[in-house]
């Protein structure tokens, strides 16, 4: 099982609108209860950018346009027995309005200014925010 028996490889998308970041609250490990960007695991033989777009559209209901690579993020959650490496992308090119598409996994969302983020923030989202602030 990816993330448990061997390091999992995932992807995430930082979606920006008017200087705010779209975050969803997670209900499942790792980091259940934390606010995170949309994303998920990369399927075998799927390019990370394609997985990023697919996961973001499935989880947010948005139609994602152009994306660009932002950073790699790796975290070991020893208390949860998980290890994930994520390829993180960023976009401000999308259409539609976000919705709760997977209420059992991501029951609520919001747009947050980078200096007014909800807590607790996931480690992946914290890495995204750090990178976004460095590139401003």
**Structural domains of the chain, with CATH:** 8-134 (3.90.79.10)
The string of pLDDT tens digits covering residues 110-127 is: 999 999 999 999 999 999
With a CB cutoff of 8 Å and minimum separation 6, the contacts of 16 are: 22, 90, 91, 92, 132
- Residue 136 pLDDT exceeds 80: no
The string of pLDDT tens digits covering residues 18-37 is: 999 999 999 999 999 999 99
The string of pLDDT tens digits covering residues 36-93 is: 999 999 999 999 999 999 999 999 999 999 999 999 999 999 999 999 999 999 999 9
- How far is residue 43's CA from residue 104's CA, in Å, rounded to a whole number? 21
Considering the entire predicted model, what is its pTM? Answer: 0.96
- How far is residue 87's CA from residue 125's CA, in Å, rounded to a whole number? 12
- How far is residue 95's CA from residue 97's CA, in Å, rounded to a whole number? 7
């Amino acid at each position: 099982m990816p993330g448990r028996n061997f390091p999992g490889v995932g992807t995430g998308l930082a979606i920006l609108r008017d200087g705010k970041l779209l975050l969803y609250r997670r209900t499942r490990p790792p980091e259940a209860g934390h606010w995170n960007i949309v994303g998920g695991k990369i399927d075998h033989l799927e390019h990370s950018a394609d997985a990023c777009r697919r996961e973001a559209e499935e989880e947010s209901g948005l139609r994602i346009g152009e994306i660009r690579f932002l950073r790699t993020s790796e975290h070991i959650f020893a208390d949860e027995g998980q290890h994930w490496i994520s390829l993180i992308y960023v976009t401000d090119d999308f259409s539609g309005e976000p919705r709760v598409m997977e209420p059992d996994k991501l029951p609520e969302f919001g747009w947050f200014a980078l200096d007014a983020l909800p807590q607790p923030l996931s480690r992946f989202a914290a890495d995204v925010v750090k990178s976004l602030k460095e590139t401003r």
